[in-house]
């Protein structure tokens, strides 16, 4: 069980590093809306927080 948790922790850390690298690239591009970048970051980092309510639908409703 501990080995499984360590492997999962390693995978999560790797995913977070990839997301942060992607977000850094987006922030450094000219003409990118910072709010959109934040929305993308939140979506990617909260992918496993709520399986019942899709994050995309939640963020779309927040726009209005």
pLDDT at 57 over 50: no
pTM over 0.85: no
CA atoms 7, 50, 40, 38: torsion sign:
negative
Confidence of residue 48 (pLDDT cuts 50, 70, 90): low
Q: Which residues contact 47 (CB under 8 A, 6 or more apart)?
A: 55
Q: What is the mean pLDDT of residues 1-17?
A: 92
């Amino acid at each position: 069980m501990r080995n499984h948790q360590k492997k999962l922790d390693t995978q999560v850390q790797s995913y977070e590093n990839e997301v942060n690298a992607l977000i850094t690239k987006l922030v450094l591009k000219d003409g990118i809306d910072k709010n959109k970048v934040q929305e993308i970051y939140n979506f990617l980092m909260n992918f496993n927080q709520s399986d019942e309510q899709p994050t995309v639908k939640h963020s779309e409703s927040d726009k209005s």
